[in-house]
């Protein structure tokens, strides 16, 4: 059995990845900055909290990283930790750099010193590309970050590439475009829209206030994306991959589909406000997953209107049950 170490296991991707690895027979270890205080609600939601070994780790502290690696002896390490909100990174730019770029450097060095045969995955982000315009971004598209979060992700990307080429580590970055699920925090814009549409339809909320609704993103389904992550560490030759659907959607379209699912006209319930705008908004984001399809045999199946409907079904089912429900479980039933 292989040992897998997931840095940041309590997040959306960490929870889904843990479930996937357990299904494939791995011993799964996960870290959080404070495991004792973390309720690991997403692991509980997926019913796997008792199947993983959890520990506290500040990934920016070399001594802690070396100790955890020595204890776990991982065959694969998945670096999913760090600040995850683009908007929050404008308020906490130093934390974005510390938790993403610095942590990646410390983890890479920990692997180099203590577990050179360990395969290393780092969570990149499409935000590093900036505006892709009408063309889909590929693995060779240049970075033009427009937020502290994106800048930190770009920095981490090149650190991984350096350790791969200079030290011979099996180290890769997955350049993931936006991906959603029922486990996504409600302060992210797609869950926010769908949750609000449900609440307004049931008289629990008056209106929804958004920023720029004409921004477009390539949105996918998180459980499918963690499969791509795992596949990256199973190849013969380490390489970075774009993980995307190849289709984009505006927030206007998301709102229209979400409110329509609950029998409402979105234009009667949504307004925009300048205070909701980000300081440096990314207008259009689109990825080209051709290389992942060719090398990994991976492609997205859930996107666009199907993605919105799947998420809306999950919100409706969770509300009906009055308990948190993972939307992919609803979709599979």
Active site residues: 125, 127, 149
Return the CA Rg of the chain: 19
Burial annotation 132-155 (CB, 10 A radius, 16+ → b, else e): beeebbbeebebebbbbbbbbbbb
Give the count of beta carbons closer than 10 Å to the beta carbon of residue 116: 11
Q: How far apart are CA 137 and CA 289, in angstroms?
A: 9
Listed in sequence order, the residues at least 6 apart from 55 whose beta carbon sits closer than 8 Å to its beta carbon are 29, 30, 31, 32, 35, 68, 71
Give the count of beta carbons closer than 10 Å to the beta carbon of residue 61: 12
Burial annotation 294-333 (CB, 10 A radius, 16+ → b, else e): eebebebebbbeebbbbbbbbbbbbeeeeeebbbbebbee
Partner residues linked to 28 by β-bridges: 4
Three-state secondary-structure class, residue 147:
coil
Question: Is beta strand 76-79 parallel, antiparallel or unpaired with respect to 179-180?
Answer: unpaired
The label of the residue with tokens 């409907």 reads 309
H/E element, 6: strand 3-7
Dump the DSSP string for 250-282. EHHHHHHHHHHHTT--GGGTEEE-GGGS-TT--
């Amino acid at each position: 059995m292989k040992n897998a170490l997931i840095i940041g296991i309590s997040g959306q991707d960490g929870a889904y990845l843990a479930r996937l690895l357990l299904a494939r027979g791995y011993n799964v270890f996960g870290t959080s900055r404070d495991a004792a205080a973390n309720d690991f609600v997403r692991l509980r939601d997926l019913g796997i909290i008792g199947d993983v070994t959890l520990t506290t780790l500040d990934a920016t502290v070399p001594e802690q990283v070396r100790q955890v690696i020595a204890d776990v002896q991982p065959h694969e390490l998945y670096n999913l930790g760090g600040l995850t909100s683009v908007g929050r990174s404008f308020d906490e730019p130093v934390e974005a750099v510390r938790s993403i770029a610095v942590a990646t450097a410390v983890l890479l060095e920990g692997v180099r010193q203590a577990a050179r045969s360990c395969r290393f995955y780092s969570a990149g982000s499409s935000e590093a590309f900036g505006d892709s315009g009408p063309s889909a971004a590929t693995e060779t598209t240049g970075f033009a970050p427009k937020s502290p979060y994106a800048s930190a992700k770009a920095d981490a990307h090149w650190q991984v590439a350096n350790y791969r080429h200079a030290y011979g580590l099996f180290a890769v970055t997955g350049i993931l475009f936006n991906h959603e699920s029922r486990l996504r925090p409600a302060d992210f814009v797609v869950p926010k829209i769908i949750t609000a549409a449900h609440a307004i339809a049931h008289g629990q909320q008056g209106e929804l206030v958004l920023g720029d609704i004409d921004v477009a993103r390539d949105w996918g389904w998180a459980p499918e994306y963690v499969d791509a992550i795992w596949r990256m560490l199973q190849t013969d030759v380490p390489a970075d991959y774009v993980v995307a659907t190849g289709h984009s959607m505006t927030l206007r379209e998301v709102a229209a589909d979400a409110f329509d699912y609950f029998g409402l006209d979105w234009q009667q319930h949504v307004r925009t406000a300048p205070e909701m705008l980000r300081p440096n908004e990314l207008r259009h984001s689109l990825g080209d997953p051709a290389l992942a399809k060719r090398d990994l045999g991976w492609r997205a199946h859930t996107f666009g209107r199907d993605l919105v409907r799947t998420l809306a079904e999950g919100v409706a089912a969770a509300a009906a049950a009055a308990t948190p429900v993972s939307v992919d479980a609803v979709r599979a039933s």
